Amino acid sequence: MTSTPACVITVSDRSAAGEREDRGGPIAVALLREAGWHCPDAEVIADGAESVADALRRAAARGIKLIVTTGGTGVAPRDETPEGTRRVITREVPGIAEELRRQGLADTPKSVLSRGLAGIIDPYGALVVNLPGSTNAVSSGVPIVLTVAAHIVDQLAGGDHR
């Protein structure tokens, strides 16, 4: 799956304002690059459904095939990454988000609080996966995403079932 375009979008008011370093985004970028995806440095945006939806639309329009978001999946008032994602995806892939929550239990019982989604943006053929913002969630979540991402992108491009 070399050179397939991917991107990471970090969703955090504090990181977007320069008040806190983005630690999860660079981890996700490094893991994607190690797996052979072409991935620029993480984009950092403010929390909010509209900012997330806008960033996802821009990424899909640029031809990005795998979009990983970090942050904004919890229950705090500004955690609206799932709401922004839902505005853009045309089909959900719930099994990915379910597996991320299930595997996250090994790190923390709070993983069940993640409201993250996974889905497809048609007609662009892009897969979007929301990860929590913690470095543990990113470190354990990206490998889970990578187990299916190449297959999904191939399927979206018209590939045969394998």
- State which residues form the domain around 111: 6-156
Q: 162 in a domain, yes or no? A: no
Q: What is the largest CA-CA distance in the chain?
A: 47
Chain length of the chain: 162
Burial-class residue 139 by CB neighbours within 10 Å (0-12, 13-18, 19+). middle
Q: 87 in a domain, yes or no? A: yes
Could you tell me which of 33, 30, 14 has the C-alpha nearest to residue 22? 14
Tens-digit pLDDT profile for the chain (162 aa)? 458 999 999 999 999 999 999 999 999 999 999 999 999 999 999 999 999 999 999 999 999 999 999 999 999 999 999 999 999 999 999 999 999 999 999 889 999 999 999 999 999 999 999 999 999 999 999 999 999 999 999 999 998 776
Number of domains in the chain: 1
Q: 48 in a domain, yes or no? A: yes
Q: 59 in a domain, yes or no? A: yes
Residue carrying the six token digits 């979206």:
156
Distance CA 107, CA 45 (A): 26
Q: Which domain CATH number covers 105? A: 3.40.980.10
Say what the pLDDT of residue 160 is.
77
Say what the pLDDT of residue 1 is.
45
Tell me the backbone φ, ψ of residue 19, rounded to 5 degrees: -85, -20
Give the tokens for residue 70: 């970090």
